[in-house]
Structure 1
Amino acid sequence: MLDGTITDVIEAQSLSLQPQHIHIYSASWGPEDDGRTVDGPGILTREAFRRGVTQVSWYGAWRAWASMRGPHPVPVSGLVLHLQGRGGLGTLFIWASGNGGLHYDNCNCDGYTNSIHTLSVGSTTQQGRVPWYSEACASTLTTTYSSGVAADPQIVTTDLHHRCTDKHTGTSASAPLAAGMIALALEANPFLTWRDMQHLVVRASRPAQLQAEDWRTNGVGRQVSHHYGYGLLDAGLLVDLARSWLPTQPQKKCVIRIVHTPTPAGGALASHAAAPSPILRVMHVRKNVSACIGHANYIRSLEHVQVQLSLSYSRRGDLEISLTSPMGTRSTLVAIRCGGRGPAGPQTLFPE
């Protein structure tokens, strides 16, 4: 796929190849890590993601798996299940979070790694430090070991021409490590859905001994970092949890529209260490939400948040956009990027 011109068609074909037989797709590529690019999957690749994670009803998932006979509909309990990724359980897309830290790049601006359909993996050094290439973003879910500075060990893996190498580096090495651990979890419990696996990865990630200044405790008592997600992925714990995991209930979607009167940026002044200038103008938009209570799509527990934001500003690299939960957990959706020279005029952002 990566040896020539890359198009939306090629990406979509690659990510939907034999979805009944390929359970895990490990991807260590994405937009340019240059601190300026905001890019993501095209319409066909987004559809490949969506089809890959199409899921049958949770109570029929194990029957669908057991009765799977290729891509043809299978009748189960009076339903017709159109099996797609992994027999309807959902393909697992494991994605490297990116190596643009040297350019202050931010993986929130990478539409592949910040998709709810992918499982984003960051890196740490053997000493538990943030690598120089690390990108911080709210979408990173977990971390595995990789390279650091020249004195740090790198990753040993297979190489071309029936050889091996001890020079594999970056988050490009971390994502395959996570994919291998996830494969072990699937071996222990092949009936896990794509959402089950995300829950398990969160619970099997350990924050201890990972050094970062942005560790925070969220509303359910878990430590989380924009560099590391929920911590270093523990393969043994992941497999143990997988063996006894009960399926999650069907995914529900609650859409909340916030109509905000167009307002010139103004209001309070605040300082920010990463800003090109020490002064920022801050605009707060607050909304009390009901989580669609009283409707069939009432959200009882939150898995993902997707934000579609349309704004007009002269230089997008000067913008920081964050989302704060009712429990006070602050997630940075767009960070200040010194190289982020965006065009003037309305821009639509899809941080997830």
Structure 2
Amino acid sequence: MSAPLRGVSGEQSVASADRQLSGTASEINQPFAKGRKAARVRSWPERVLPTPPGRGWRSRPWQDYALFVVLVAPNLILLGVFVYRPLADNIRLSFTDWNISATGMNWVGFDNYTEWFGRSDSWQIVQNTVFFTVAAVVGSMVIGLGLALLLDRKLFGRNVVRSAIFAPYVISGAAIGVGFQFIFDPGFGLIPDLLERMGIHSPDFAQNPHWALFMITVTYIWKNLGYSFVIYLAALQGIRADLMEAAEIDGASRWTTFTRVLLPQLRPTSYFLSITVLLNSLQVFDLINVMTRGGPIGTGTTTMIYQVYRESWVNQRAGYGAAVATIMFLVLLIVTLVQVRMMDRGDEK
């Protein structure tokens, strides 16, 4: 029969635990012993206090400011030389009667601006600019989105088709303009021939002001379609697939999935494209100059940017052309600010 257990007091338990811990620490320190004396090793790591704020080199205000200046200064210098300085010179020239062949200039105040607002052809030019810009933005974005949706799936030869859609964007606008002149030519052009075969009388695109502007707009959309297509395609590939699958599981139709799930995800991309395509369309010069030279019949296809060229270089009125460019800049600035504001509100929602 085993001996009865003896009671152990609290002090004896604590002393026994201390001896066990001491023995464990001695065993840990054995590998570090040198000779007969063992080096004392702390069983717990030292507590490292955090560096007080304001002592790290990166937190010094002057060094952060110096780094900011080094990174931003080159860009500011380039913007000042190639953007802000020419803009200021253009605004200054808009208040003069300077022309390229003259040696001097006279201050005329707001005469150039009042002349532009008083001319009857100015409003025709504004209408041409608005029609061309709106049609270019809407057409390229809608068709680009449709093609992106069509090719955002596994199809045979889709990479070749994608490259073919994007290729016209990198081709010279002058070369494309010459090519589309032949396509719309009433004598042997492809478009008039197709219309005649369908029993539709083909108009003379180059001689009718309305059809001439339509011809330039179609050419521009075809050329720049690849840009919107590539941007939308990249955005579609970044959308989470589980969102679309969840909508299908819930019984949503394709149209509901497109309008309620897909389009909200593409809203930032659409805002970005609307701004960039708008800026590009307002700067179109090569297509107009090659295909119609601003005509037919006066200002049939003249836009504001082409009027700047015509007044400054053809009519030798650089001051008046600078005034038109300044008006165009102010309108474009207002439209861009409105678009950016709409983009911010869309992100907040």
TM-score by length of 1: 0.22
| Larger strand percent | 1
Rg larger in 1 or in 2?
Answer: 2
| Larger helix percent | 2
TM-score by length of 2: 0.22
